[in-house]
Structure 1
């Protein structure tokens, strides 16, 4: 049998700062991440059994089933994952708390007769996950953020750019990614971003902005994240172009 080629949505996760925790603690947080991801998929109306799951040691990689819209890997999945990581951190000790980096991309992948999946989209996914802008975004807030995500330009244009419900253009910050030979624009989602339906909740548990109109928000001007994160006593400052954007970060009691 010959391999087939299919267009699929892709998601990769990486546990920030996993090195140096010891084998036993690493196994605990790996299990906790898989549980949180499976629960978040379920809460988002997705069946984890339909995804191709690959354990990458300190994270994982998901290949979405055929036909799943790319927006399905964003909302409500990202907020749901953030909520479950936060719940885990509330119960865990200092050595088993997590901050998770997420990258989302899509493209045509090769599926071999034995079910293995490969292709150049995975290379871009890995570069996005390893990028400095995403690593810095994961440090946002006094104790870091449960989930910081980065979208490829392709995914951004075909989800946020198309005005899918719950994807506010103002929730994403443009970043230039350069990892090895890979160089591209991408889009960050970080704490305080109003990801979710109008009147919903952010990953920090705070109420999101309610427009009350149900209309697509006006596109926000492109922002860059060349100097990304500076924590303060009251939140996090993101350098955006020639100015700064202050994101309040409120710990839940």
Structure 2
């Protein structure tokens, strides 16, 4: 799981450091409320985001509910009191697979490549623009992660809270699943370019079964984002 702050560039060093602290604090608070011990995760700072590697024994559903709604709630609360230059919109991507953990604590493996592509995808970038002023957190799940968590009776993980999207970034092409406040509405299809905090998002298009988009592939960042609600139909913000 990874997190990235959308539109972080151009804010200046002091504001960048502030929003980085806000994201990390919100994430660790959300882990605590979700009854997850941050010490069990391998944490990496990615500059304007972060990455969490969960222990293999952790059930996959634990990385979705209530963690992501709790994270979104904290970001939303920060934004209520923050100026435009320190508000956050966060992208999140979640994937699972076998990785290598070296003795020095570093991790590597092909799942990180897929995670990076999901994070950089146009569907996720456009999902952060949903609603008035954008959404605090938008998340994308790989199809593998979706199949093993959603629709199996886990609380907050009803299938109708997710929107299918086809991700194509560089050599990566796969089905993925979006969740964000205001779902189910599919994101606008566009260039995948990030907007700054002051830009007005385009209104979302009606939900579709399939959306084919092409991302620019600029940058490789791990990110995670989630909405501030319980992932359930008719109960979203």
TM range (shorter): 0.7 to 0.9
Is 1:48 aligned to 2:38, yes or no?
Answer: yes
Report how far residue 191 of structure 1 moved. Answer: 1.3
Q: Distance in 2 between matches of 1:148 and 1:22?
A: 24
Indicate the larger mover: 57-66 or 146-155. 57-66
* 1:131-184 per-position Cα deviation (integer Å, ceiling 9, x unaligned): 000000000011100000000000000000433222010000000001110000
Determine which structure has greater relative contact order: mean sequence separation of CA pairs < 8 Å that are 6+ residues apart, divided by chain length: 2
Match of residue 219 from structure 1: none
Match of residue 71 from structure 2: 81
> What TM-score does the superposition give when structure 1 sets the normalisation length?
0.75
Contact 1:53 1:62 survives alignment (8 Å): yes
Q: Distance in 2 between matches of 1:22 and 1:226?
A: 29
Contact 1:42 1:48 survives alignment (8 Å): yes
* 1:206-236 per-position Cα deviation (integer Å, ceiling 9, x unaligned): xxxxxxxxxxxxxxxxx976748x745xxx4
Report how far residue 239 of structure 1 moved. Answer: 4.2
Match of residue 176 from structure 2: 186
* Structure 1 unaligned residues grouped into runs of 5+: 1-10, 195-222
Structure with greater strand share of residues:
1
Contact 2:122 2:189 survives alignment (8 Å): no
> What TM-score does the superposition give when structure 2 sets the normalisation length?
0.80
Task: Please identify the structure whose Cα radius of gyration is greater.
Answer: 1
* Structure 2 unaligned residues grouped into runs of 5+: 191-200, 211-233
Of 184, 194, 206, 1:238 maps to 206
Report how far residue 92 of structure 1 moved. Answer: 1.1
Provide the alpha-carbon RMSD of the alignment: 2.4
| Superposition misfits of 4+ residues, deviation over 3 angstroms | 223-228, 236-239
* 1:69-108 per-position Cα deviation (integer Å, ceiling 9, x unaligned): 1110100011100100011111211100000000000000
